[in-house]
Structure 1
Amino acid sequence: MTTAPSSAPPRPAAPPRRRLRDAGTVLALGAALFTAGALGLSPGEPASQAASDARPPARSTGTARDRIAALQEQLRRTPDNHPGWARLGMEYVQQVKTTADPTYYPKAEKSLRRSLSLRPADNYTAEVGMGALAAARHDFAGALRWGRRAATTNPHNAAAQGVLGDAYTQLGRYDASFRAVQRMVDLQPATPSLARASYSWELRGDTVRARELMRRALDDASDPADAAFARTNLAGLALSDGDPAAALREVEEGLRAAPALPALLEARARAHAALGRTGPAVRDYTAAIARVPQPEYVIALGELQQSLGHKAKAREQYDLYRSQERLLRAAGVALDSDATLFEADHGRPDRAVALGRAAVRSRPFLATQDAYAWALHRAGRDTEALTWSDRALALGTRSSLYRYHRGMIEYALGDRTAARADLRTALKDEPRFHPLHAATARRTLTRIGHLG
């Protein structure tokens, strides 16, 4: 059995009625969960609000549109219903995730602030909603403030700890994030907290433990969305372990339960690409984008098309991404690692450096550190770049892309031994880790071999 890292908090007592096989492994969170509608951040009502005369309706089992319409109708009848406004705000935050439509951001903020204006203090649901909204906009300092406020209002509800854990991770405060999610697990050892614990170990490079925890998260999933989330992440873990066939099996199992779900289609596209099946990969990316045009899907399809020599089709996706970028900026979303990498690879290195510098100041997470390193490299500032690349890999995260970035930086600095080691590791873990960069890694290794 693997041992806990030195920063691990003490082993907690097993929670009532639900024994975790190894509670000491359940330490922290999944940074992937900070996105809009983060898994498990629907907090329910604390006791003080449950007794309110303006009690919200029970959650509908219908579609999101049905739930939003029902809440809107109720609020027309009872406009002073502060829990109802908070619930509506949370639904809008979730819709950002499921539709990739940034116009839901201002709707969410308006609804949540209306709730807070009606009940400025002890408004737990609205406070958690504001934390989730801030995180969705990549305002992690704001998410931290709202998470602390919600945790003070109701220290016994797990959702606030999820907001705190997500914010601490993205702010690079990993020990604090581990403690927050351990608290979340202690309060509610279910899919949301177990998924965050899984990602904690993935960040540290322990994909075996991460997979065990994500499997438990899947076993505990109470609805198709949570199950699909777990399947998607299990596929990602399989890919990082160099097993695209296992990744494809996970995704196919998920699609049997949730056909045509965009996140699963995108995960299947990545698995097909890793297996060298570019035709099915293009079809799955295209289908996912047609349903939910997430920026990362659009970039991935563009780079795959570029690798196939389809320049016009690639340019179409890149133009779509730039349009999305403008909409996100208008909605108050801070652009960070995706925008930095896109600009470094397909735009202007000087703009990539500016974006990366701003990103590491507001979100000093390993993804932004890696992106900033790559931007500096593209701008010819390799000594600075290596410092940031080392920071991105300091936790031991297994990422072929991060390894490739550092290997190319080392090669530019003349350190062929280090470059060879990093590039070999990148290709060993994931031979097709990127449609463009994997080929560059192979060419560079050949050049290193010829140069001795």
Structure 2
Amino acid sequence: MAVYTGNLVDRLESVLLLLLLIGGCFPVSAQKPPDEQIRYYQSKLAQDPAHWPSYAGLGVAYLLKARATDDVAYYAKAEAALKRSLQLQPNYEALRYLAAVYIGQHRFQEAIAYGLQTVATWSSDTRSYVFLSDAYHAIGDYERAAEVAQKMLAIKADFYTLSHSARNRYVRGDVEGAIREMQQALTLAAQDELSRELTPWVQVQLGRYYFGMGDLRQAEQAYQQALTVSPNDALAIEHLAELRTAQKNFTVAIKLYRKLLKRRSSPEWRAALAEVYARAGRAAQAQRLRRQAEAAYRRAIREGRVDYYRHLAQLYLHYDANLAEALILAQKDLKARQDVYAYDTLAWVYYKNERYEEAVKAIQAALRWGTKEAQLFFHAGMIYHRLGDAARARDYLQRALATNPYFDVADAETARAMMKEVGSP
């Protein structure tokens, strides 16, 4: 299977973007560099230590810094500043962004508690619902996430409400509906000055949906449109590299990932580039990058990045390495968030450890929401094959290849070979 760099619904890019562009009551634009914001609010607080809006602004600045640097220490600073703001004066901004801090720390129940408080106090403002929806989504409570998204839409159909609704449609298997709502969000974003800078992000989400359907032409068109507006957009470059890998254009994929790594030393990008090097027959470079990615994941986990449990487990699964540790990591990940991909990861770990009865229970839990992703179907097919259920194995392998024949270079080849083994009905 492909190394894990995130999926269509669990990376929470929307959190960062909403932090940047939802209008807040702050004198310094949230689009300014976080360090500039931090200095500004610290200077304000030096003059007036009881100025609650400055504590709220400082908390948001620390939150942006945490997202920009992947340094979890800034989440603690953000939490302290926002709580101090609330102590001085109950206020909307501090309450709302505390939920975002807890999402960043994977303290989802606390995020939900603050999200519910925000909604109860400011129920007519769609911004109140954003982080509550994100938190429910993160723990795999897709029913409540969808309910919150629908409440937002009922108040106002705008960029933020439509993009959240689209995400919920996608995970529940309504890919066409997700594309339709994301296209509507794109139209509205282009019309609104505040949201216009988010159009590349929307294009990338559309591209990801199209890629998930196996429509590489539309996916590439969406990524290229994003890059036309924002030539250095990291998310667009990353997913264009993924697409080039699927097309077996490894030379271009390598160039794109290396371009990203010059900007930021991301373990996700190192792991992805290692896979491309391996596909291209450059084993020494692949091994070097894989070790670097593993070391970075381990370091991040020690520093509190619990979201990297899944990444490291998937890295081990990809290379059939440290499978006992991968199981521990997958179990920890499931404890933190019970979403589709936590169950899928656990199912595949059980499969690799030859614990097929446990694997089938986990994959059934992953599939219960109706998410239409080829990787899920592939895992289900392989698990049922090991259990001797040829009919179900054949059905899921067919669905994997029909959903997206390009979902993974190696796994797609395995699925085709396995189809010959399980035979016709």
Question: TM-score of the superposition, structure 2-length normalised?
Answer: 0.88
Residue 279 of structure 2 is matched in structure 1 by: 307
- Give, in whole Å, the separation in 1 of the partners of 2:275 and 2:232: 23
Q: Which amino acid aligns with 2:244?
A: H
TM-aligned CA distance change 1:313 to 1:75, over 3 Å? farther
Q: Which amino acid aligns with 1:216?
A: Q
Residue 159 of structure 1 is matched in structure 2 by: 127
Q: Percent identity?
A: 26
Identify which range, 35-44 or 411-420, moves more after superposition: 35-44
From 95, 109, 121, the equivalent of 2:79 is 109
Residue 184 of structure 1 is matched in structure 2 by: 152
Report the Cα offset of residue 306 of structure 1.
2.1
Q: Which amino acid aligns with 1:67?
A: Q
Report the Cα offset of residue 61 of structure 1.
5.5
**Residues 231, 254 of structure 1: 8 Å contact kept:** yes
Residue 405 of structure 1 is matched in structure 2 by: 379
**Residues 274, 289 of structure 2: 8 Å contact kept:** yes
From 398, 407, 411, the equivalent of 1:433 is 407
**Residues 28, 37 of structure 2: 8 Å contact kept:** no
- Give, in whole Å, the separation in 2 of the partners of 1:96 and 1:225: 21
Residue 363 of structure 1 is matched in structure 2 by: 337
Pairing 1:90–2:90 present: no
Residue 202 of structure 2 is matched in structure 1 by: 230
Q: Which amino acid aligns with 1:135?
A: I
**Residues 35, 65 of structure 2: 8 Å contact kept:** no
- Stretches of structure 1 that go unaligned for 5 or more consecutive residues are 1-29, 51-55
Residue 233 of structure 2 is matched in structure 1 by: 261
Residue 24 of structure 1 is matched in structure 2 by: none
- Stretches of structure 2 that go unaligned for 5 or more consecutive residues are 1-7
Identify which range, 169-178 or 371-380, moves more after superposition: 169-178
**Residues 112, 126 of structure 1: 8 Å contact kept:** yes
Pairing 1:382–2:356 present: yes
**Residues 37, 95 of structure 1: 8 Å contact kept:** no
TM-aligned CA distance change 1:198 to 1:378, over 3 Å? same
Report the Cα offset of residue 41 of structure 1.
4.5
Question: TM-score of the superposition, structure 1-length normalised?
Answer: 0.83
- Alpha-carbon RMSD across the aligned residues, in angstroms, is 2.6
Query: Aligned residues, how many?
Result: 411
How does 1:95-244 map onto structure 2 within 5 Å? 95-119=65-89, 122-221=90-189, 222-223=194-195, 225-244=197-216
- Give, in whole Å, the separation in 1 of the partners of 2:11 and 2:156: 17
TM-aligned CA distance change 1:189 to 1:296, over 3 Å? farther
TM-aligned CA distance change 1:446 to 1:339, over 3 Å? same
Report the Cα offset of residue 205 of structure 1.
1.8
Report the Cα offset of residue 102 of structure 1.
3.9
Note the alpha carbon deviations across 1:44-73, whole angstroms, 9 max, x for none: 56xxxx7xxxxx415265444433433333
How does 1:29-40 map onto structure 2 within 5 Å? 31-32=9-10, 34=12, 37-40=15-18
TM-aligned CA distance change 1:299 to 1:436, over 3 Å? farther
How does 1:244-393 map onto structure 2 within 5 Å? 244-335=216-307, 336-346=309-319, 347-393=321-367
Identify which range, 221-230 or 192-201, moves more after superposition: 221-230
TM-aligned CA distance change 1:96 to 1:323, over 3 Å? farther
- Give, in whole Å, the separation in 1 of the partners of 2:176 and 2:186: 15
